[in-house]
Amino acid sequence: MLPVTEPLLSVRSLSVEFDAPGSGPFARRRTLRALDGVSFDLIRGETLGVVGESGCGKTTLARAILQLTPASAGRVLLHGEDLSKLGRFALRQRRRAMQLVFQDPLASLSPRMTIGEIIAEPLRAHAEGRDTGARKARVVAMMDRVGLLPGLYDRYPHELSGGQCQRVGIARALVLEPDLVVCDEPVSALDLSVRAQIVNLLMDLQHEMGLALLFIAHDLSVVRQVSHRVLVMYLGRIMETAERDALFAAPRHPYTRALLDSVPVPDPTLARARTVRTLPGDPPSPLDPPSGCVFRTRCPHAQPLCAERVPVLRQVGGSLVACHFAEDI
């Protein structure tokens, strides 16, 4: 096993650009920078929560890490190995170690395959457990681990509840015993009374299997529940990153503060007592990001400097924060 301090996953200055069609037949093609210079490390047994609103690049980040979307710049290192330098065959080998859990549990399961076949599919694809008896035993053991009764082995996804389907999705991701699991909004499509089951299951499995988890969600309460560290993104850039408790106790970036302020509290007494300072406007278009700090158009503390210079991530208190005035606010 790796020493704990060595990162399992290192992301270095990762950028992703998409071509966006211009409007009109002669318009210049435009570039949409979905991810702009993102760097972080993830160690074994650690959960990194990634939060941000729609369009902030969190799903693009997941896809770029898994080499499903090509990066325009930067590197993704797994066990110190640059994934973009690998050939197709070698990358396919490394994919065993990186798995994905999707948002919509039913849509991400093939309707024509049984639950047993779905969970066995990664084993088949990676030519593991050719002995069908042994393969089935592994699938059944995995089903047990995620809380699926063995009687569901021959059932089809549409016969299962949303929560059960997400357990199948998790079992499929874990059956190859990966090192890294990327969860993209894994509970937001589930019924309210079922979410806690899946959150607890993911936390238990992570602990038992020593997984590194990249947990992407827009729900800050869920992210706080599962994460050791949190990354706050806005318009493709990291605004702030810190240990979970530091971030929620003393957020340094104005955007992190606004996000935390905006979450409705499920307590009428507290809700009446607090004044929500709502952010004006909407996130700007990623096709036409503001100069300097991308958050400045909605920031209550914006100064002329913010339009001129892009703030770099720097240590303030317990956080790495990209704000020129993090000390003053």
Partner 1 sequence: MAAAAEPILVVDDLNVSFDTRDGELRAVRGLDFALYPGETLGIIGESGAGKSQAVLAVLGLLPTNGRATGSARYRGRELIGMPGSELNAVRGARIALVFQDPMSSLNPYLRIRTQMVEVLAHHAGLRGVEARRRAVAMLEAVRIPDAVRVLERYPHEFSGGMRQRVMIAMALLCDPDILVADEPTTALDVTVQAQVLEILRDLQRSRGIATLLITHDLGVVAGQCDRVLVMYAGRIVESGSVDGIFNQPQHPYTADLLRSIPRLDRQGRLNAIAGDPPDPMLAPPGCPYAPRCSHRFERCDRERPLLGARLSGAAACHLDAAGD
Nearer to partner 1, 271 or 329 (CB): 271
Task: Return the SS3 of 41.
Answer: strand
How big, in percent rounded to 5, are the helix, strand and coil portions of the chain? Answer: 35, 20, 45
CB of 22 to partner 1, least distance (A): 17
Residues 254-293 that bind partner 1 (CB under 8 A): 258-271, 276, 278-280, 282-283
Residues 70-129 that bind partner 1 (CB under 8 A): none
Does 196 contact partner 1 by CB under 8 A?
A: yes
CB of 83 to partner 1, least distance (A): 31
Is there a contact between 29 and 42 (Cβ–Cβ < 8 Å)?
A: no
Going by C-alpha positions, the residue among 23, 160, 184 that lies closest to residue 98 is: 184
31, 200, 291, 315: residue in contact with partner 1 (rule CB under 8 A): 200
Nearer to partner 1, 178 or 289 (CB): 289
Nearer to partner 1, 99 or 206 (CB): 206
C-alpha–C-alpha distance, residues 247 and 23, integer Å: 41
Tally Cβ neighbours within 10 Å of residue 310: 14
Q: How many residues bind partner 1 (CB under 8 A)?
A: 45
C-alpha–C-alpha distance, residues 7 and 224, integer Å: 22
Nearer to partner 1, 57 or 122 (CB): 57
Does 209 contact partner 1 by CB under 8 A?
A: no
Q: How far is CA 133 from CA 139, 176, 237, in A?
A: 10, 16, 48
Q: Give the residues lining the site for partner 1 (CB under 8 A).
A: 53-54, 161-164, 191-197, 199-200, 203, 218-222, 224-225, 248, 258-271, 276, 278-280, 282-283, 298
